[in-house]
Amino acid sequence: MSLLSSLTRIHHVLLKEFIQTLRDPRTRLLLIFPPIAQMLIFGYAATLDVKNVALAVLDLDNTQESRELVSRLSASRYFHLAGHVARREELREGIDRGDFLAALEINSGFAQRLRNGQGALVQVLVDSSNSNTALVALGYLNQVGARFGRDYQLDRVRRAAPQLVSFLPQVDLQSRPWFNEGLESQWYFVPGVIGNVLMIMVMTLTAFAVVREREIGTLEQIMVTPIRRWEFILGKTIPFFLIGCFDATIIALVGTLWFGVPLRGSFGVLAAGLVAFIFASLGLGLFLSTISATQQQAMISSFLFTMTMITLSGFGTPISSMPLFFQKLTYLNPMRYIMIVLRSVYLKGVGLDVLWPQIAALAGFAVILLSVSVLRFHKSLE
């Protein structure tokens, strides 16, 4: 009889929460379209690729060799020729204005030094205000320049002494990318967006739902009813767990069907990781509700946690590139583990035999966060 009464009270709270959440048409739209919009925006805009870099050229040599080097650069998919300039001052002014990201200065005597078998220097100017883009652009410039130099020297040897060509030592690197053969940034970012969107939606909705009850004064009224506190918490969190599962399904379908990111692993392993992560996000949202007196405070707290967790999750930058202190700190971040699960299941097809430590860590975070939040919630009511 007691169990039946508990289930009845939980059902009433759950029904109330669903009605309160879904009765507003704008709220219904917010549960569906923002996750899809974030998936599309991140999928298209978030990229590590550097393409179509604006390049200006100051060619003081104006020979066939210098024009060939410029032609190779502009023909690659990494650069597009923004124009030729006549003076060095124009290079500085153009970079200052942001007209182009990189500039190439070919001094006079460039071709003559090549013909004499000497090294020919080319000056490269790069706007390094964005250090990552600058480093990648420099790497592309070095690749194109090195290939041009090798091809030019090989052509000279072929014309002067064709019999020596076969004796020239060469190193030919054969690259074999695994898991992401086309080196598509979308395949890297799209699985990670699932974790970001889930954490933001579930944590924010949970925190706001409980704080809203406290702010409008209905929380105390509910607590004087026969409902137990754990029944109230369970009735509050189950709807957002189901909403999290619904949103996870939608954005996973968008990632797979729209962006073509392959799901190579087991759906069961993916589901297990996402369920554990949703429970951890519920616990964090409930914890934020216990330290916030108003919805404004809950919003600021959720923003602080969201930005910190995403930054330390390895979503955009490798954890191994962070300072050692922050690398250790990432082990306290549930998003670190869900990023590994998502990318491993999607791209590598990894199974539970490899990912069980990450899923176990997520389950541990869920138990700890929910327990602490429930205890903290009890204390905040007393």
Across 70-86, average pLDDT: 84
Lowest mean pLDDT among 19-28, 150-159, 310-319, 360-369: 19-28
pLDDT tier at 1 (50, 70, 90 boundaries)?
A: very low
Nearest to 150 by CA among 173, 170, 164, 167: 170
Higher pLDDT, 27 or 350: 350
Lowest mean pLDDT among 252-256, 281-285, 365-369: 252-256
Rounded to whole angstroms, the Cα distance separating 252 from 54 reads 35
Q: What is the CA radius of gyration of the chain?
A: 29
Domains defined for the chain, CATH in brackets: 2-46+185-381 (no CATH), 53-167 (3.40.1710.10)
Q: Would you state the pLDDT for residue 90? A: 86
Judge whether residue 382 has pLDDT over 60: no
Q: Would you state the pLDDT for residue 233? A: 75
Residue 189: how many other CB atoms lie within 10 Å: 24
Expressed in angstroms, the distance from the first to the final Cα of the chain is: 28
To the question of pTM greater than 0.75 for the whole model, the response is yes
Across 208-230, average pLDDT: 69
Lowest mean pLDDT among 110-124, 148-162, 177-191, 323-337: 148-162
Give the CA distances from residue 112 to residues 66, 109, 150, in Å, rounded to whole numbers and listed in that order. 10, 5, 16
Residue 44: how many other CB atoms lie within 10 Å: 11
Token output for 71: 């032609």
Give the CA distances from residue 202 to residues 12, 66, 237, 245, 316, in Å, rounded to whole numbers and listed in that order. 21, 58, 9, 10, 21
Q: Would you state the pLDDT for residue 220? A: 63
**By the 8 A CB rule, do 260 and 346 touch?**
no
Rounded to whole angstroms, the Cα distance separating 376 from 339 reads 28
Rounded to whole angstroms, the Cα distance separating 56 from 85 reads 7
Question: Best-predicted range by mean pLDDT among 72-76, 125-129, 335-339?
Answer: 335-339
Is beta strand 53-59 parallel, antiparallel or unpaired with respect to 102-106?
parallel
Rounded to whole angstroms, the Cα distance separating 245 from 239 reads 10
The residues, any chain, with a CB within 8 Å of residue 151's CB and separated by 6 or more, are none
Judge whether residue 379 has pLDDT over 50: no
Is beta strand 122-126 parallel, antiparallel or unpaired with respect to 102-106?
antiparallel
Higher pLDDT, 6 or 178: 178
Q: Would you state the pLDDT for residue 276? A: 94
Convert the pLDDT of each residue in 123-149 to its tens digit.
888 888 877 778 888 888 888 888 887
Across 47-54, average pLDDT: 76
Lowest mean pLDDT among 107-121, 320-334, 339-353: 107-121
Rounded to whole angstroms, the Cα distance separating 28 from 246 reads 12
